[in-house]
Structure 1
Amino acid sequence: MERMTDEARAVIAALDGPAMLARTCEWAGINSGTRNLAGLARMAAVLADAFAVLPGETRLMEPAPVDTVGADGEVTALEHGRHLYLAVRPDAPVQMLFTGHMDTVYSADHPFQTVTHRSDGTVNGPGVADMKGGLCVLLAAIEAIERGPDAARLGYSVVINSDEETGSLSSSVLLAEAARGKVAALTYEPALPDGTLAGARGGTGNFAIVVRGRAAHAGRNPEEGRNAIVAAAAIAVRLAAARGDGLSVNPARIDGGGPNNVVPDLAVLRVNFRPRDPAAIARAETTVRDAIASIGSEHDVHIALHGSFNRPPKPMDAGSERLFATVAEAGGALGLPIAWRATGGVCDGNNIAAAGVPVVDTMGVRGGAIHSAEEFLIADSLVERAALSILTIRRIIARGHA
């Protein structure tokens, strides 16, 4: 482990750890599940007030339209919360993007709503790691940069969306626009408890396949029916058989059916794909297209496909490797070993990388058990990770690139 530099000590000394922890706990006390629009509105207002200390205009952006397929096979509009957007010094020579999300996976009626301080120095609570703590790290880091002598050289955009946990469908265009022209991006998903960062990521695609058959009496004239459940199950089996060679396929749910004496005329199959690379996406698309065509013909049913590959795979390319090296260098100044590894999870880092911008997407707190009632953050990592961001950003400003 490297010895901490004087610069690192000064950065850490200027950070207010207790205040950061208090703010994290306050924000975690606001339920902002993706579908809790009232809670998201409250969270967005709190964040807008907090980020207003930065120069530039903080705006709450309307979500882009998103459709959803119900269990009845009908397509309807799906409401989302607004997204926070801030642009500072767009004409500065070095331009960066900072992103996070205000939504959590915990609904307003979820039993996990309380923040608890544990004797081992961890804090248990909804969203403390993913990512209310990360948002506090982000704000503290940018505030420190704004107090520094080289702030005028840095321009940046901040995007905090309200729908990351469900795929960023209403914020993906905003993220792509904000990424344009940036030399690097930092996203504040949590690191692992030991500080390991996420490197390469696979992609993801979510689809709803609506199968419409024909109802008939299951005893009197079943041959006149066209069983949508059987056809949907056949598609599920066909798609599941395509897994392998960089592609994971999970047929997750079939909605439909009714009384035992009626041939079901509707089924909705939900499927998740996890492609490792663009070739796996192409193979998945071909498999889906072929399955729909052949099974639709074989079972004499009508099939409609809804969905997309909304998060492309994120490889470790040369730009990413340079940015990770910069983060590792900043970690060395803090006496922190910085390691990373590939992961099957996805986040907004996938979308940012697809826009051609190098990104490290786990610059948030150290924590774990996310998406469960055991979610925790390591309290000391608030200051530690804010310092890591500050030193990383300063190096990028000095070099003019990642």
Structure 2
Amino acid sequence: MTYTPSLEWIDQQQDKMLSEVLSLCEINSGSANVPGIEQVVDRLSAFASSLGAEEERIDLEPRSDVLDSGEVVKSQSGPLLRLTKWPNANRRVLLVGHSDTVYPVDHKFQRCSNLDENTINGPGVADMKGGIVVMMTALQALERSPYAGNIGWQIIINPDEEIGSFASAPHLDQAARAADVGMIFEPALADGTLAGARKGSGNFTLIARGKAAHAGREHHLGRNAIAALARTIALLDGLNGQQDGVTVNVAKLTGGGPNNVVPDFALCRFNIRVPSPEGQAWAESQVQKIIYEIEQENGISLELHGSFGRQPKVMDKAHQQLFSLLKSCGEDLGLSTEAKATGGCCDGNNLAAAGLANIDTLGVRGGAIHSTDEFLLIDSLSERAKLSALLLLKLAAGEASWPDRATTA
């Protein structure tokens, strides 16, 4: 079987792909910028129109956010874009991308520029507007081939990946349970290295409440929330090094007021990364023990918000099978597809938790993501589109074996 015509067609799309990436990146779509995300979805819809898929725009349920004041508010995300084709096929592939970036609407980083003839600097060029263009171009190649219709596919472009995918998580879970292979288009490293196993991640907010009092006249009647939270933070930080691969990062502390008032409120935010379900269970139990210990202090209460939104993604048999298939595709194209474990996480964690083997760094080669130095290597657009297209073509042609279901936590 030959896939040469499809791959040669992708080479011819290089300039069009680059133009589309630049257009997408000129639209600010920070996670809180709902109008910007809606504009990105409009443009993606137009770009994907040639695929002939059924399109749905889904309004997500509001998410709960804890303000620095301790108030819990509801916040709305942008729309989720879902495209579906050949839903009655015996085998199905789920392709996932995200429309949001980490750059707010008032961020100074809003435009793209050429660093050299093969490097573009810009907001979201790698993470992951370049990846979405790679995804859709690969699907266009599949749909132009003789194997179109042999497999069903669904695209989900969610608007909240950069803030944990909490609102879109139910839709990812449902789609993952109905699919046989997952493909996510986060960026690979600049040298083409992919992510393999990923740590799980939990984001938490801890609120301490005490009792206000005059710091001079009635200090003894006050209960210092900042002091109590400081003792809690010391215990949380002390968890580092106790369990292999488990890390705790206290990222923010706020509270208090005038020097002559015993503070009755303090808040901290922290993140926990875990390499395995066992590590997650240990971390969760330790946090509860610490909270119980501090709450034994008279007049002090602690209120914990948050959870492990991303479960650990382990390289089980199903993932090893899928990576072996990708490696064979890379060899056909003369590309390296080496993978290494990472402490970072993405929607690949969500798909794996639902039992779906997935490769989650099929996007462009690039780097310095989440910074004003973010860059994309231009030649990786067609390169990575061909890699994903060949994976899809081999599955559709029956040349490749499908992986088992992944191991769920």
TM-score using structure 2 length: 0.95
CA–CA distance in structure 1, aligned partners of residues 222 and 230 of structure 2: 16
Counterpart of 2:247 in structure 1 is 248
Shift of 1:185: 0.6
1:148 to 120, 136, 145: 145
Aligned match of 1:193 in 190, 193, 197?
A: 190
**Kindly tell me: are residues 220 and 178 of structure 1, through their superposed partners in 2, closer, same or farther at Cα, counting changes over 3 Å?**
same
* Conservation of the 8 A alpha-carbon contact between 1:12 and 1:383: no
- CA shift, 1:396, in A, is 2.0
List per-residue Cα deviations over 1:45-85 (Å, max 9, x = no partner). Answer: 21122223223321111112311111111111022111111
State the SS of the aligned residue for 1:260. Answer: coil
The residue matched to 1:151 in structure 2 has which SS? Answer: coil
Partners in 2 of 1:69 and 1:252 — Cα distance? 15
Comparing 6-15 with 48-57, greater Cα deviation is found at 6-15
**Number of aligned residues:** 398
Distance 1:242 1:80, change over 3 A: same
In structure 2, what is the equivalent of residue 11 of structure 1?
A: 7
1:304 corresponding residue in structure 2: 303
The yes-or-no answer on 1:261 pairing with 2:257 is: no
Percent identity between matched residues is: 44
AA aligned to 1:68 is D
Describe the superposition over 1:275-330 as per-residue Cα deviations: whole angstroms up to 9, x where unpaired.
11111111111111111111011252121111000000000011101111111111
Task: Please say if residues 231 and 299 of structure 1, whose CA atoms lie closer than 8 Å, have aligned partners that are also in contact.
Answer: no
Shift of 1:13: 4.1
1:172 corresponds to which of 140, 163, 169: 169
Q: Distance in 2 between matches of 1:125 and 1:299?
A: 53
| Match status 1:128 vs 2:129 | no
Partner of 2:229: 232
- Mean Cα deviation higher: 69-78 or 391-400: 391-400
Partners of 2:10 and 2:386 within 8 A in 1: no
> Unpaired runs of 5+ in structure 2?
404-409
Whether the 8 Å CA contact 1:94–1:183 is kept in 2: the answer is yes
Separation in 1 of the partners of 2:112 and 2:178? 39
Aligned partner of 1:353 in structure 2 is 352
Q: Give the 3 Å change call, closer, same or farther, for CA 6–52 of structure 1 in structure 2.
A: closer
- SS of aligned partner of 1:24: helix
Q: Is the partner of 1:298 in helix, strand or coil?
A: coil
What does the per-residue CA deviation read over 1:168-206, in whole Å, with 9 as the maximum and x for residues that have no partner? 011000100111121111000000001000000001000
Which residue in 2 is equivalent to 1:374? 373
Q: Is the 8 A contact 2:6 2:145 kept in 1?
A: no
Is the contact between residue 326 and residue 395 of structure 1 (CA under 8 Å) also seen in structure 2? no
Aligned to 2:317: 318
Q: Is 2:388 the partner of 1:389?
A: yes
CA contact (8 A) 2:252 2:270 kept: yes
Contact 1:93–1:400 (8 Å) recurs in 2:
no
Pairwise CA distance, 1:401: 1.3
Task: Give the C-alpha shift of residue 8 in structure 1.
Answer: 4.6
Q: Is the 8 A contact 1:105 1:165 kept in 2?
A: yes
1: CA distance, partners of 2:186 / 2:10: 23
TM-score by length of 1: 0.96
Q: Which amino acid aligns with 2:290?
A: A
CA distance in 2 between counterparts of 1:208 and 1:70 reads 9
Alpha carbons of structure 1 residues 348 and 86: separation in structure 2 relative to 1, 3 Å: same
Alpha-carbon deviation of 1:9? 7.0
In 1, Cα distance between equivalents of 2:70 and 2:237: 22
SS at 2:19 equivalent: helix
Task: Return closer, same or farther for 1:300/1:368 CA change in 2, 3 Å cut-off.
Answer: same
In the other structure, the counterpart of 2:406 is none
Distance 1:10 1:307, change over 3 A: closer
CA contact (8 A) 1:69 1:76 kept: yes
SS at match of 2:51: coil
* Deviation of the 1:228 alpha carbon: 0.7
Give the Å deviation of 1:138: 0.4
Paired AA for residue 365 in structure 2 = R
Q: What is the CA distance between 1:265 and its match in structure 2?
A: 0.5
Q: Which moved more, 1:293-302 or 1:272-281?
A: 293-302
Determine the C-alpha separation between the residues in 2 that align with 1:248 and 1:8: 47
